[in-house]
Amino acid sequence: MLLASAVVVWEWLNEHGRWRPYSPAVSHHIEAVVRAGPRAGGSVVLGQVDSRLAPYIIDLQSMNQFRQDTGTLRPVRRNYYDPSSAPGKGVVWEWENDNGSWTPYDMEVGITIQHAYEKQHPWIDLTSIGFSYVIDFNTMGQINRQTQRQRRVRRRLDLIYPMVTGTLPKAQSWPVSSGPATSPPMSPCSCPQCVLVMSVKAAVVNGSTGPLQPPVTRKNLPPPGVVRLPPPPGSGAKPLDSTGTIRGPVKTAPSQVIRRQASSVPTGTTVGSPASPPGPNGKTGRVALATLNRSNLQRLAIAQSRVLIASGVPTVPVKNLNGSSPVNPALAGITGILMSAAGLPVCLTRPPKLVLHPPPVSKSEIKSIPGVSNTSRKTTKKQAKKGKTPEEVLKKYLQKVRHPPDEDCTICMERLTAPSGYKGPQPMVKPDLVGKLSRCGHIYHIYCLVAMYNNGNKDGSLQCPTCKTIYGVKTGTQPPGKMEYHLIPHSLPGHPDCKTIRIIYSIPPGIQGPEHPNPGKSFSARGFPRHCYLPDSEKGRKVLKLLLVAWDRRLIFAIGTSSTTGESDTVIWNEVHHKTEFGSNLTGHGYPDANYLDNVLAELAAQGISEDSTAQEKD
């Protein structure tokens, strides 16, 4: 047990194994339900505080977040942090993603950045906590140590996360004691979604397998134009929905609806009767929905949702009815009822299948690609440096400036009229010399440019830190491997009129060289061979030729920390996106994607690879 004051941050576990924080407002909402205890029902509807989270419900008993439209379950946790850290001050650090929107850092990363910011450090290296990035507070930028790619970062103020004091357990399950800071009792929420969540829980506890019955109020009385039908005689009578009514606008005859409903419910199941006889205290036994097998639960859920759909509710998919996920199919059906009661459109469907690879192809069906020589290529050794010293390399790209303007050097953020502010290893040039890059015209301390070159790949090329113009031939640090490419007789979705170019990358694990993050240390190579796909169109072949240049320049892969698994010292993709999904696009790495070829051409151009590069490689 810990005796302390702390801020509480609620977090969820993403698919990469990283705990991501909910916003302060959402954490306050969850904490209020926790402190209310069991009387609040044990479920948190996140859409009540943030409309973007409308599909999500947190079950505090299992500590899982449930997404209603897909059935996805993710663990959640209640974590504690120092009140003097970033969440205790309402400080949020964010980075700009490729869509131009802002993404908050993981809480531990944000706290580390804020601590360095408060200490007035000029930058913070995140390598010590497993991330190959440097945060530069002068430029408010994030720099990838491997690729030198920069992104904007920002610091903003938000609500302070909820505070707790007193005895704090190291791990908590629900319900928890409210401690000294007891909140006043909360009245249960009366919105349709919460009412139905509570009804589901009541049905499970009381053993009712019939339709969910919200509290009887004036809202539940049938409106004008609604006809209440008595159930047909017999023990197998089944009500049509939670109020036993059919709405006037429905054109289906009542007898047809009853017949369709009856055929969808398992034979011998009396929906309106309890699942077990009353016990000695007069209450229904605790048998509940668990007494039905998987197929019967699925049929019951679909039958109930069909009546809701027949009443005029528009439809969108609710997935996971095929039993391939941890979510029981009946839960997806109950989700449909919950969403319908909240006024959300619902339709139960089966999810599409992930198709990563094409149908089997024989060796005789594999063909070489017209206009492209050979069918495979290996990486060469590291290219020789194009200059004896960094100073000699930069002389080719710079013009000396005798009278520098009164502006900041965007590398060290000191005035160009003053000496460089760089404090690292001392380059062999005077700190007050200023140079202008010949093509783009941006001006820097030569001292700073030499330091930047020394911190990079030192391959004889230079990239302007302001406009990203590349001088020389940029190369990477890709480890040795093999690239194969050929035609297969199948078409990609969205490209029905052409065959498919298949690329196979193979890189074995090995030992890092002097150009890698940790020379002499072993590195892993997960997921190889990796299969990628392009349409065999004119533009697809153009992309392939440029990918071959990128492969020769060692720019396709790098060694670093995987954003998927968090593993360090492993082979990772290097800023050039590939399509690894052949027959679907469920992961976002497949087809159809009308903009993919143009996007990857732009990414290759950012690495200094264009149509002119193919001519340079031939020379």
pLDDT of 235 reads: 40
Residue 332 has pLDDT above 70, yes or no: no
pLDDT of 124 reads: 92
What are the structure tokens assigned to 613, written together?
A: 């590069």
pLDDT of 37 reads: 76
Residue 135 has pLDDT above 90, yes or no: yes
Q: What's the rounded Cα separation, in Å, for the pair 327 and 70? A: 9
Bridge-based pairing state of the strands 317-318 and 347-348: parallel
pLDDT of 494 reads: 93
Residue 279 has pLDDT above 50, yes or no: no
**Which candidate, 492, 464, 462, places its Cα nearest to that of 393?**
462
Q: How confident is the model at residue 292 (pLDDT cuts 50, 70, 90)?
A: very low
What are the structure tokens assigned to 560, written together?
A: 């670093």
Q: Which helix (H) or strand (E) holds 341?
A: helix 329-341
* Cβ pair 2, 78 in contact under 8 A: no
Q: How confident is the model at residue 468 (pLDDT cuts 50, 70, 90)?
A: confident
> Positive or negative, the Cα torsion across 569, 571, 575, 580?
negative
pLDDT of 131 reads: 86
Domains in the chain, please, with CATH? Answer: 1-86+163-169 (3.30.720.50), 91-157 (3.30.720.50), 390-458 (3.30.40.10), 475-616 (3.30.390.130)
More reliable by pLDDT, 552 or 68: 552
* Cβ pair 52, 25 in contact under 8 A: no
Q: What's the rounded Cα separation, in Å, for the pair 68 and 56? A: 6
Residue whose pair of structure tokens reads 């998927």 in the numeric block: 564
Average pLDDT over residues 214-232: 41
In sequence order, which residues have a C-beta less than 8 Å from that of residue 480 and are 6 or more positions away?
378, 379, 381, 507, 508, 510
Residue 542 has pLDDT above 90, yes or no: yes
How far from chain centre, in Å, is Cα 372? 37
What are the structure tokens assigned to 184, written together?
A: 């006043």
| DSSP structure string for 569-585 | SEEEE-S------SS--
Q: What's the rounded Cα separation, in Å, for the pair 407 and 1? A: 56
pLDDT of 379 reads: 79
pLDDT of 246 reads: 34
Residue type, 330: A
Q: What's the rounded Cα separation, in Å, for the pair 581 and 564? A: 16
Residue 457 has pLDDT above 90, yes or no: no
Residue type, 353: K
Average pLDDT over residues 567-577: 91
**Which candidate, 410, 464, 407, places its Cα nearest to that of 441?**
464
Helix/strand/coil (H, E, C) string of 192-255? HHHHHHHHHHHHHHHCECCCCCCCCCHHHCCCCCCEECCCCCCCCCCCCCCCCEECCCCCCCHH
Residue 34 has pLDDT above 70, yes or no: yes
Q: What's the rounded Cα separation, in Å, for the pair 401 and 408? A: 14
Residue 450 has pLDDT above 70, yes or no: yes
pLDDT > 70 fraction of the chain, expressed in percent and rounded: 65
pLDDT of 241 reads: 40
* Cβ pair 195, 215 in contact under 8 A: yes
Mean pLDDT of the chain: 74
More reliable by pLDDT, 17 or 41: 17
More reliable by pLDDT, 283 or 396: 396
When mean pLDDT is compared across 424-438, 493-507, 548-562, 583-597, the lowest value belongs to 424-438
Q: How confident is the model at residue 459 (pLDDT cuts 50, 70, 90)?
A: confident
Q: How confident is the model at residue 286 (pLDDT cuts 50, 70, 90)?
A: very low
Q: What's the rounded Cα separation, in Å, for the pair 255 and 186? A: 45
Would you tell me the crossing angle of helices 611-618 and 538-552 to the nearest 10 degrees?
50
Per the omega criterion (within 30 degrees of 0), is the bond before 592 cis? yes
How far from chain centre, in Å, is Cα 534? 24
Other beta carbons within 10 angstroms of residue 435's beta carbon come to 23
When mean pLDDT is compared across 132-146, 320-334, 521-535, the lowest value belongs to 320-334
Residue 565 has pLDDT above 70, yes or no: yes
Q: What's the rounded Cα separation, in Å, for the pair 364 and 361? A: 8
Q: What's the rounded Cα separation, in Å, for the pair 123 and 144? A: 13
Top mean pLDDT of 241-245, 250-254, 281-285, 392-396 is at 392-396
* Cβ pair 96, 102 in contact under 8 A: yes
Convert the pLDDT of each residue in 251-260 to its tens digit. 333 333 333 3
When mean pLDDT is compared across 17-31, 273-287, 404-418, 581-595, the lowest value belongs to 273-287
pLDDT of 541 reads: 95
Q: Which helix (H) or strand (E) holds 156?
A: strand 150-157
When mean pLDDT is compared across 65-69, 180-184, 529-533, the lowest value belongs to 180-184
pLDDT of 291 reads: 47
pLDDT of 39 reads: 62
When mean pLDDT is compared across 63-67, 206-210, 266-270, 401-405, the lowest value belongs to 266-270
In sequence order, which residues have a C-beta less than 8 Å from that of residue 36 and are 6 or more positions away?
183, 185, 186
pLDDT of 338 reads: 60
What are the structure tokens assigned to 583, written together?
A: 């027959």
pLDDT of 168 reads: 61
| DSSP structure string for 496-558 | TTS-EEEEEEE---EE--TTSSSTTSEEB-TTPSEEEEEESSHHHHHHHHHHHHHHHTT-SEE
Residue 169 has pLDDT above 90, yes or no: no
Residue whose pair of structure tokens reads 């069991």 in the numeric block: 38
Q: How confident is the model at residue 339 (pLDDT cuts 50, 70, 90)?
A: low
More reliable by pLDDT, 430 or 258: 430
Residue type, 510: G
Top mean pLDDT of 274-288, 361-375, 603-617 is at 361-375
Residue 532 has pLDDT above 60, yes or no: yes
Q: How confident is the model at residue 3 (pLDDT cuts 50, 70, 90)?
A: very low
pLDDT of 1 reads: 45
Convert the pLDDT of each residue in 344-354 to its tens digit. 555 545 556 77
pLDDT of 380 reads: 63
Q: How confident is the model at residue 281 (pLDDT cuts 50, 70, 90)?
A: very low
CA distances from 68 to 199, 351, 436, 574 (A): 16, 14, 57, 35
pLDDT of 185 reads: 45
Residue type, 401: V
pLDDT of 618 reads: 57
More reliable by pLDDT, 392 or 195: 392
